[in-house]
Amino acid sequence: MKTKIYQNKVNITERQEKNEQHSLDTIQLTSDSFVTKTRIKQYYKAIRKEATNTKLIKIQSIIEALDYQDSDRYLKRIERTKECLNIAIQDNDNLIQSRCNQDRLCQNCARAKSSQRIEDYKGDLTRLAEDKGLYFVTLTAPTCKERELRATITKRLKAFAKVKDNMRKRYNIKLNGLRKLECTYNRDTHKYHAHFHFVIQGEAEAYLLRDLWLNQFRDASIKAQDVREIKVSKDDASNLIEVFKYATKGVVKDTEDAHAEYHILRAIDRRRIFQTFGELKKTRTTEMSETDTKKIDWTAPNREIFAFENKCKDWTSANGDRLVNLNTIQVQRYERKERKEISDKSNCERTRTNSETITRGERVDKRLCSQKESVCKKQKVNR
Ligand SMILES: [Zn+2]
């Protein structure tokens, strides 16, 4: 009897200890001080993974219903994409995941590919910009019906090759830049819109490209074409990055309609969506790695395996512990803080530059400047 009571007591203490441990873990995980940049990134990976999975299920049922001869090939691609980043292995402070590299279907891989291209071409494009300026050109032609889509895309690709040739032969102009083919679907008109985004060196080249394009498509309106300069300087490539992100994003449609997406996927199959030409051609794109390794800095180093669960938009361990374990409020709070820090920093710099300009040639009022800096520092501490 005595032993039994003792055992019970031990069990209770053990349970209490376990509970304390558990609540401590929870406090640690939900505390904002552990909301790091890498954790936020992992949070968005989960959001994109869930969105991709939901879309894949819809496309899968369309593929099965239509049952074309080559259905199997697309179903295999769907299966591969579903596996993307499915398992997350924590090895001490590393988080290892494997990707599908299906950037036409997978939002996470599309994003990774786009960032990689920015890294690959940013340097060369900045050099081209310094020489003659860079231009963002969008070229379109009238929309088409579903059954005309593949032929329309062929026609547009051929038209660009012809224009480029023409420029070289007749105008002695070698075009430097890159192009990206994009295809969108309009739910209201049920029509497809295949168009190009370009980053082109030189203003004259950009406008000549537009004019020769219009010669190819007599039914295309000049108003639907767009040419704008991308302001790039040695120290500030942010505009270029923005445009580049837009022009090279891997997602080639802006439709939620799975049916249209399947048709776009078929129409662009084995086509070169992204191409560089002229001097930019020399840059070789490095192959994207199938393994994605990131540092994990919001939990203690550990060895654990997590699997993705669509329902909770997170990876969970066998014990049910969540990997990211963040809610939208925590994410928004972190992002607000980040934005404020950036704007405070630039305000601070602006104040400093202004005060330096005003007092040039006079006695510098150092007190004012340092006062403002200390206000900034104080704000940062308060946050
Ligand atoms: Zn992927």
* Cα 88 to averaged position of ligand 1 atoms, centre (Å): 13
Q: Which residues, chain by chain, have CB under 5 Å from ion ligand 1?
A: 84, 99-100, 106, 108-109
Residue 214 CA to ligand 1 center (angstroms) comes to: 37
Q: What pLDDT, on a 0 to 100 scale, did the predictor assign at position 245?
A: 79
Residue in the structure block whose two tokens are 């990211």: 324
Interval between CA 80 and ligand 1 midpoint (Å)? 8
Residuewise pLDDT in 10s, the chain (383 residues): 444 434 443 343 344 444 444 444 444 444 556 899 999 999 999 999 999 999 999 999 999 999 999 999 999 999 999 999 999 999 999 999 999 999 999 999 998 988 888 888 988 999 999 999 999 999 999 999 999 999 999 999 999 999 999 999 999 999 999 999 999 999 899 999 999 999 999 999 999 999 999 999 999 999 999 999 999 887 888 888 888 777 777 655 556 688 999 999 999 999 999 999 999 876 666 678 899 999 999 998 999 999 999 999 999 999 999 999 999 999 999 999 989 888 777 776 666 655 544 444 444 344 434 444 444 444 444 43
Strand locations in 19-117 (E):
87-92, 94-98
251 Cα: distance to centroid of ligand 1 (angstroms)? 12
pLDDT at 316: 97
| Kind of pairing between the strands at 226-230 and 291-295 | unpaired
Ligand 1 centroid to residue 17 C-alpha, Å: 41
Give the per-residue pLDDT at 303. 95
User: 3-class DSSP state for residue 39?
Assistant: helix
Distance (angstroms) between ligand 1 centre and the Cα of 48 equals 10
Which of 165, 180, 60, 40 shows the shortest CA–CA distance to 110? 180
Residue 15's pLDDT is 41
Please report, to the nearest 10 degrees, the dihedral formed by the alpha carbons of residues 328, 334, 339, 342 taken in order.
-160
> Cα of 78 to ligand 1 centre, how many Å?
10
If you measure from the C-alpha of residue 322 to the centroid of ligand 1, how many angstroms do you get, rounded to a whole number? Answer: 21
CA atoms of 256 and 233, how far apart (whole Å): 38
Residue 175, helix vs strand vs coil: coil
- Distance of alpha carbon 318 from alpha carbon 313, whole angstroms: 16
What is the 113 CA–ligand 1 centroid distance (Å)? 10
Task: Report the candidate in 275, 312, 268 with the shortest Cα–Cα distance to residue 105.
Answer: 268
* Cβ–Cβ < 8 Å for 196, 138: yes
pLDDT of residue 12: 37
Sequence-ordered list of residues with C-beta below 8 angstroms from that of 182, at least 6 positions apart, any chain = 194, 195, 196, 197, 252, 253
The pLDDT, as a whole number, for residue 247 is 74
156 alpha carbon – ligand 1 mean position (Å): 28
Please give the full DSSP string across 287-351, using - where no structure is assigned: PPPSEEEEE--SS-SEEEEEEEETTTTEEE-TT--BSS---HHHHHHHHHHHHHHHHHHHHHHHH
CA–centroid distance, 295 to ligand 1, in Å, is: 19
Residue 273 alpha carbon to ligand 1 centre in Å: 18
Alpha carbon of 7 to ligand 1 centroid (Å): 52
Calculate ∠ Cα 16-21-24, nearest 5°: 125
- State the distance from the centre of ligand 1 to the C-alpha of 275, rounded, in angstroms: 21
Element (H, E) at 186: strand 177-186
Q: Return all residues near 67 (Cβ < 8 A) that are at least 6 apart.
A: none
| Dist. CA 107 → ligand 1 center (Å) | 7
CA of 249 to the centre of ligand 1 (A): 14
Judge whether 305 and 87 are in contact, CB under 8 Å: yes
